C-alpha cells in the first residue's frame, strides 16, 4: 500500500496540492494530458520556485473568458467526459460533491442550486481534478493529513468580507484538527479543505511508512517569516497499519469503590474510548489506590474527561499525547472439539483465539476456558502449516 501524507503546516490549497504531488514525482506529462482532456480552453505549467529557501513547485492555470458560475451537475458532467481513471474520476466527483454540500449548508440552499463561484472557475476545477489524477499517477492508495493550519484574519469574497476560516472551509473541516499560526491571512482554502476532508483517512502524526519521496507545493504568496508551502511525503506501508495520534487521560483515585470504578469504565468505553485500564497503585501516605487510564482519539478528549469527572471522585486528571501503532490483523475460523472458534493473527506469526468464542464454547460444553483456548491454538497451528 502506498501512502501520501499531507503536512499542512502552512495550510493547504488546490494549487499547492498539485504542485507538491508533481514535486514528489507525479509525471507532469501524464497529468497535463489529463487536464487537457477536460477541454476547458486552459493551459498549464509547473514553475520551479522557492519559498523561504525551500525549493518547491508552483502549479499555474491560465485561461480566458471562462464562465465563473457552474452547478454541480455541470462540473460532474465535465469530469465524466475527461480522460481520467475510474478512481481519479470517482475521487474528483466526491470532492466536488462534498464541497457542494458545504456551500449549500453555509448559504442555506439546496445543493442543486449552489453556484460554484470561485471553486467553479477553471483553475479550481483543474486543481481538484489535477490533485486526484496526480494521486492516481503516483499509485497512492491511502491519504493521511497533519493538523491543518487554517490561518486567521478576514478575506474578501463575492459574498463580502468573511472571517478565516471561511464558513465553507470551517464546515468541511468539522471534526478535523485545525489551528491558527503565522500571518493573518487565509492559509487553507475551501478547495484544499475539500480535498483532504474527502480523501484523508486519518488526521494527525505521520503514519508508519517507509518514505520514498518528498515534495513541496508553493502557494502564491511569499510570506516574510513562514514558508508558504505544502509538503507531501510518499511512502510504502510499514508493518504497523495503524499509526494515529492518541490522548491518554489519567487519574489517581484512592477514595472510590470497585463498583463505581467499574461503572465508570463501562461509561467511558460506551462513549468511544479506545481502551480503559484500572491499575492498583500505592499513593502518598502508603494509601492503596487505582490508576485510571483512558486511551482515546484527541477529538473525544473533552467528552471523556467530563465523564471521568462525573463518574469518579477525582479532582484532577493528567492529559498526555501519544501515538498508537497496531499491526495488520486478520481473522481465521478454525474447527475445534468444541465448535468453530475465530482466531486473530498477524503476518509476524502472533495469534490469539477470540475470547468470546472460547468463553461461549467453554460454557456450552462444560469445560475449562483454558482447554478451549489450547484446542483452538492447536487447530490454528495445524491449519497454517498445511
Report the relative pairing of strands 318-327 and 240-253 from DSSP bridges.
antiparallel
For every residue of 248-300, DSSP letters joined together read EEEEEESS--HHHHHHHHHHHHHTT-SEEEEEEEE-GGG-EEEEEEEEE-GGG
pLDDT at residue 115 is higher than 80: no
pLDDT at 71: 74
What gap in Å lies between CA 117 and CA 107, rounded to an integer? Answer: 12
Domain boundaries, the chain: 2-238, 243-327, 330-384
Mean of pLDDT over the chain: 89
Average pLDDT score over residue span 279-287: 92
Categorize the per-residue pLDDT at 375 as very low, low, confident or very high, splitting at 50, 70 and 90.
very high
Q: Which residue has the higher pLDDT, 4 or 106?
A: 4
Higher pLDDT, 368 or 107: 368
> What's the average model confidence in pLDDT over 202-218?
90
Q: Looking at residues 109-114, what average pLDDT do you find?
A: 62
What pLDDT shows up at residue 254? Answer: 93
Q: Report whether pLDDT(116) > 70.
A: no
What distance separates the 2 farthest-apart alpha carbons in the chain? Answer: 81
Phi, psi (deg, nearest 5) at residue 212: -115, -15
Cα→Cα distances 90→15, 175, 215, 328, 335, Å: 20, 24, 25, 27, 42
User: What integer pLDDT is reported at residue 110 of this predicted model?
Assistant: 63
**Options 3.40.50.300, 3.30.70.1380, 3.40.50.620, 3.40.120.10; CATH of 243-327:** 3.30.70.1380
Percentage of the chain surpassing pLDDT 90? 66
Q: Is a pLDDT exceeding 60 seen at residue 117?
A: no
Q: Which residue in 237, 234, 239 sits closest to 212, CA to CA?
A: 234
Q: Is the pLDDT of residue 154 over 70?
A: yes
Question: Would you say residue 311 has pLDDT above 60?
Answer: yes
What pLDDT score was predicted for residue 160?
A: 76
Segment 99-106 shows an average pLDDT of 80
Task: Please report the pLDDT score of residue 157 as a whole number.
Answer: 73
Residue 213 has pLDDT above 80, yes or no: yes
Average pLDDT of span 149-166: 85
Looking at residue 321, what is its pLDDT?
84
pLDDT digits (tens, 9 = 90+) for 174-202: 989 999 998 999 999 999 999 999 999 88
pLDDT digits (tens, 9 = 90+) for 50-100: 999 999 999 999 876 555 567 778 888 889 989 999 999 999 999 988 888
Residues near 69 by beta carbon (within 8 Å), at least 6 away in sequence: 115, 116, 117, 120
Query: What strands, in cross-sheet order, belong to the sheet with 318-327?
Result: 275-282, 288-296, 240-253, 318-327
- Confidence band of 385 (pLDDT split at 50, 70, 90): confident
Dihedral, CA atoms, 128, 134, 139, 144, nearest 10 degrees?
A: -50
What are the pLDDT digits (tens) for 9-21?
999 999 999 999 9
Per-residue model confidence (pLDDT) at position 299:
84
pTM of the predicted model, to two decimals?
Answer: 0.66
User: pLDDT by residue (tens digit) across 317-366?
Assistant: 999 988 777 777 788 999 999 999 999 998 778 899 999 999 999 999 99
**Helices 122-137 + 28-36 axis angle, to 10:** 140
pLDDT at 109: 67
Amino acid at each position: 500500500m502506498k501512502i501520501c501524507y499531507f503536512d499542512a503546516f502552512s495550510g493547504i490549497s488546490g494549487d499547492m496540492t498539485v504542485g507538491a504531488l508533481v514535486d514528489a514525482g507525479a509525471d507532469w506529462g501524464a497529468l497535463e494530458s489529463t487536464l487537457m482532456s477536460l477541454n476547458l480552453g486552459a493551459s498549464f505549467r509547473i514553475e520551479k520556485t522557492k519559498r523561504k529557501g525551500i525549493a518547491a513547485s508552483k502549479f499555474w492555470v491560465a485561461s480566458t473568458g471562462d464562465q465563473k458560475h457552474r452547478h454541480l451537475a455541470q462540473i460532474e458532467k465535465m469530469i465524466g467526459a475527461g480522460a481520467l481513471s475510474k478512481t481519479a474520476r470517482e475521487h474528483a466527483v466526491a470532492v466536488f460533491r462534498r464541497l457542494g454540500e458545504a456551500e449549500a449548508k453555509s448559504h442555506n440552499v439546496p445543493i442543486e442550486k449552489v453556484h460554484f463561484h470561485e471553486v467553479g472557475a477553471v483553475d479550481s476545477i483543474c486543481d481538484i481534478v489535477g490533485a486526484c489524477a496526480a494521486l492516481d499517477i503516483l499509485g497512492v492508495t491511502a491519504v493521511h493529513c497533519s493538523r491543518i493550519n487554517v490561518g486567521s484574519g478576514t478575506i474578501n469574497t463575492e459574498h463580502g468580507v468573511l472571517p478565516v476560516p471561511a464558513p465553507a472551509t470551517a464546515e468541511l473541516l468539522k471534526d478535523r484538527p485545525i489551528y491558527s499560526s503565522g500571518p493573518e491571512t487565509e492559509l487553507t482554502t475551501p478547495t484544499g479543505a475539500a480535498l483532504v476532508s474527502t480523501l484523508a483517512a486519518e488526521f494527525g502524526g505521520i503514519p508508519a511508512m517507509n518514505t520514498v519521496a518528498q515534495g513541496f507545493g508553493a502557494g502564491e504568496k511569499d510570506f516574510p517569516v513562514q514558508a508558504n508551502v505544502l509538503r507531501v511525503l510518499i511512502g510504502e506501508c510499514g508493518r504497523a497499519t495503524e499509526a494515529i495520534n492518541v490522548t491518554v487521560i489519567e487519574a489517581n483515585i484512592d477514595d472510590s469503590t470497585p463498583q463505581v470504578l467499574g461503572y465508570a469504565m463501562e461509561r467511558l468505553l460506551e462513549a468511544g474510548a479506545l481502551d480503559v485500564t484500572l491499575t492498583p497503585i500505592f499513593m502518598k501516605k502508603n494509601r492503596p489506590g487505582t490508576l485510571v487510564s483512558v486511551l482515546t482519539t484527541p477529538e473525544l478528549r473533552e467528552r471523556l474527561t467530563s465523564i471521568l469527572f462525573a463518574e469518579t471522585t477525582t479532582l484532577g486528571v493528567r492529559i498526555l499525547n501519544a501515538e498508537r501503532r497496531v499491526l495488520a490483523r486478520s481473522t481465521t475460523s478454525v474447527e475445534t472439539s468444541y465448535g468453530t472458534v475465530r482466531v486473530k493473527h498477524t503476518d509476524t506469526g502472533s495469534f490469539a483465539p477470540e475470547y468470546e468464542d472460547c468463553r461461549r464454547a467453554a460454557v456450552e460444553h462444560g469445560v475449562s476456558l483454558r482447554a478451549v483456548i489450547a484446542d483452538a491454538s492447536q487447530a490454528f497451528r495445524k491449519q497454517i502449516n498445511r
